[in-house]
Chain A
Amino acid sequence: MRGIRRTVVLPAPGASGTQLPLSVRSEPISIAIQATRPGVNAKAYGGRGDPPQGRINFSLLLSPLFFIIREMEPAFRRTRQRPSSTETMVGILILAVLAAVGAGVLHSQQTFHPPVQLSRSLQESPPRQDPQGEPSAAVPGLIQSPPSGIDLVGKTEAFSPETLSQKIDGKAELYLSAGFQGLRTQRFAPEGERSWWAELFAYDMGGSANAFSVFSTQQRDTGQPADLAPYAYHTENALFFIHGPYYVEAVASTASDAVRQGLSKMARRFMEENPVRTEATEPEIPSLFPEQGLIERSIERIAADAFGFDRLDNVYTARYRTAGGEQTLFLSRRTSPEEAAALAGAYIEFLLQFGGKRLRPGTEGGRHGDVVIVEILGAFEAVFYRGRHLAGVHEAPSADAAAELAERLGRRLEKGSS
């Protein structure tokens, strides 16, 4: 029984080159290619006449391949009968080896391997020598018009997620994990003198919630509220605030009243030149925490991997002083009550998976209403949800302390939703 005969003609590009008619007859395991010199008619297969001719350019790489196939053609044609079991096993073994090699290459590509960066690294442009910095000419100025009494020093520098570490080194991961989009910086000093200088860092975090993450996790306990924005504080030599999607730092070389005024001027000028739409949703979440016992300026937002659980993202935490000791409340607004319920269950399972013990109701805590309490590593976690809010207590000193604080938050959430 003959195999299926197919005739394949390679397209003719029309360029000069070797004129080469080709036809391929395929049988179950048989491939035949016959290449001829220009002008010579192809030998017909099956007596069906010359296949259409076309002009084809062969690269040095392809011609050996066709050469090999042509040379092996008689051997292939010989094997009209089924291959022996030995040949089949050898063929399978070769295919398995090739598959293993391919899998190994794929695995290696996924593995962190610094030397792969080498050729690119060595080809990077030389470090900049200009003392004033040499940012790209295309970087728009962070401040277009400095306020009175302030001189801009040097040009605006800009950094992307790929280059952020060049400016802030190991701290880059803090921003990158919180949705960092870009950073622009600008140095400035008092007009006509250099008794002090400062630098403005404007981190575009892609949203006010992300900006709150990096703002809150770095907040200094000794900071004093600044009347610049709802989330703003200053220390002796620096000013920190949120402006829409921006987290902004203005850091000076020294501390004085004149410095503080200069920082404030630059900060206001930045806000004027970068108007933002007010986002009314996420920043309101901190106001849901009960006020009694709340440690001042302790509210933070964890963008991802809260408490070591990779599904816990967008979590606000607040520290409390209670009769039982210091505890942490956590709160996360999800897209729906169903998601909040599912995430609560998943977090509980996560705790149990790592050695947590769900306390039975009625004994040293347990289930208080719908609050689940888990004892883990000598501390207590309380987990529950209200509407689309996942909430709870983290690392409480006792089950009763966890339950009491959780119930206070629960009542607050119910009141807020009514």
Chain B
Amino acid sequence: MKKEDTAEAIDRRAFLIRVAKAGACAATAGAGAWLLHEEEVRTHTAEDAGAAIPDYSLTGRKPALVVVRGANRERTLQRAVSGLGGIETFVSPGDRVLIKVNAAFASPPSLSATSHPDLVAAAVRMCRKAGAASVSVTDNPINDPASCFALTGIEAAARSAGAEVILPREKSFAAYTVPGATLIRRWPVLIEPLMAADKVIGLAPLKDHHRSGASMTLKNWYGLLGGRRNIFHQDVHTVIKELAMMIRPTLVVLDATTAMVRNGPTGGSLSDLKRLDTLIAGTDPVAVDAYGAHLLERPITELAFIALAEQAGLGTADWRSLHPDVMDL
């Protein structure tokens, strides 16, 4: 037997020393991995900055919903808001108001794929008349935002009514986690205009949607997401629910004056549209969307995001329980 093959005795002290050395090596490797961690992600978050998206809804008020039938968007909007207590109920002098429009496509207003410029202008004028310190209009179309705002007519309408149009920029986004969410976690959100607002109003057209069944006021917040948000289409109903968790607006308006009833969300043909001459305004977006489903003649069961939002306590799908005022111009 060779000398090297003889078993060498090892005492407890030597063993502990060797374990400590091995542990030190492992700790060194771990420290190296920690140093290689992506610092910009770890620090560039809204949560790190102490920011949480405020709840913009009016407290102490029962949810309400008003339906107005008419062809003129400015007049139907004025009547609807009046039915909810007037714009002064929602906008106080000095408020900074953010209007979230749908400018998702570089599509003309005639195709009803985006918020109608007449409605945008009317909403801006109402807010300014109420004494708002500023009114901003925004959306994140991702593909060529400038063209989208220009060709939809939204930019010209907003500016002419006295609003600032906020086009998305990289620095306007920050990673954000919706408390309790499974999808919107550390995801780029258009934080900057939200944090600069006291009140948030959503203006959405009523549309068919290939993935979610319908695009209405809850889906409108999708335009606040950045990044490669198309991956959320894999679980579109859940992400719409989480958007509703993320944004508790002051007021939402669903424009069904000319609704896209097929081939949404882009449409393309005037024959995809149906004249409904209806506008719905309310403080419960779930109820507003449920009414929109009723107009589209879609059963609520086909629009799972409505039930999910209701189950999450974000509103009621039973719009009838709100006893809405239904008015004709």
Interface residues, chain A, with chain B CB atoms under 8 Å away: 2, 45-46, 61, 64-65, 67-68, 71-72, 74-75, 77-80, 112, 114-115, 117-122, 124, 126-134, 154, 157, 163, 165-174, 197, 199, 218, 220-223, 235-238, 240, 249, 251, 253-255
* B269 close to A238 (CB less than 8 A): yes
A-B contact pairs, 20 of them (CB 8 A): A64-B28, A71-B21, A80-B7, A114-B184, A118-B186, A119-B41, A120-B227, A121-B226, A122-B227, A124-B227, A131-B150, A157-B144, A165-B233, A170-B211, A170-B212, A172-B233, A218-B263, A220-B271, A238-B269, A254-B108
Chain B 80-114 residues near chain A, CB threshold 8 A? 104-106, 108, 110-111
Least CB distance, B39 to chain A, in whole angstroms: 11
Of A68, A74, A121, A220, which one neighbours B269 at CB under 8 angstroms?
Answer: A220
Answer whether residue B25 sits at the interface, using C-beta atoms and an 8 A cutoff: yes
Q: How far is the CA of A174 from the CA of B271 in the complex (A)?
A: 20
Chain B 268-300 residues near chain A, CB threshold 8 A? 268-272
Least CB distance, B225 to chain A, in whole angstroms: 10
Query: Top 3 nearest A-B pairs by Cβ distance?
Result: A121-B227, A165-B230, A253-B108
Identify which of B46-54, B117-125, B163-171 touches chain A. Answer: B163-171
Chain A residues with CB below 8 A from B2, complex form: 46
Chain A residues with CB below 8 A from B147, complex form: 130-133, 154
Least CB distance, B115 to chain A, in whole angstroms: 15
Answer whether residue B221 sits at the interface, using C-beta atoms and an 8 A cutoff: no
With A77-B8, A127-B169, A237-B270 already in contact, 19 other A-B pairs whose C-beta atoms are closer than 8 Å = A2-B5, A46-B2, A61-B29, A64-B29, A78-B10, A112-B231, A115-B185, A118-B187, A124-B170, A127-B167, A130-B144, A131-B147, A154-B147, A165-B230, A166-B230, A167-B143, A169-B265, A220-B263, A236-B270
Answer whether residue B328 sits at the interface, using C-beta atoms and an 8 A cutoff: no
Which of the four size classes fits the interface of chain B?
35 or more
Least CB distance, A294 to chain B, in whole angstroms: 21
Chain B 154-203 residues near chain A, CB threshold 8 A? 167-170, 173, 175, 183-188
* B175 close to A122 (CB less than 8 A): yes
Answer whether residue B234 sits at the interface, using C-beta atoms and an 8 A cutoff: yes
Chain A residues with CB below 8 A from B44, complex form: 122
Q: How far is the CA of A133 from the CA of B144 in the complex (A)?
A: 6
Chain B residues with CB below 8 A from A218, complex form: 263
- The interface centre, meaning the residue of B145, B211, B234 with most chain A CB atoms within 10 A of its CB, is B211
Q: How far is the CA of A295 from the CA of B38 in the complex (A)?
A: 59
Chain B residues with CB below 8 A from A68, complex form: 21-22, 25
Q: How far is the CA of A199 from the CA of B151 in the complex (A)?
A: 12
Of B41, B187, B236, which one neighbours A170 at CB under 8 angstroms?
Answer: B236
Of B146, B184, B226, which one neighbours A129 at CB under 8 angstroms?
Answer: B146
Least CB distance, A78 to chain B, in whole angstroms: 4
Chain A residues with CB below 8 A from B265, complex form: 168-171
Least CB distance, B219 to chain A, in whole angstroms: 9
Least CB distance, B322 to chain A, in whole angstroms: 29
Q: Select from chain A the residue with minimum beta-carbon distance to B169.
A: A126
* B21 close to A67 (CB less than 8 A): yes
Q: How far is the CA of A122 from the CA of B40 in the complex (A)?
A: 9
Least CB distance, A250 to chain B, in whole angstroms: 9
Answer whether residue B235 sits at the interface, using C-beta atoms and an 8 A cutoff: yes
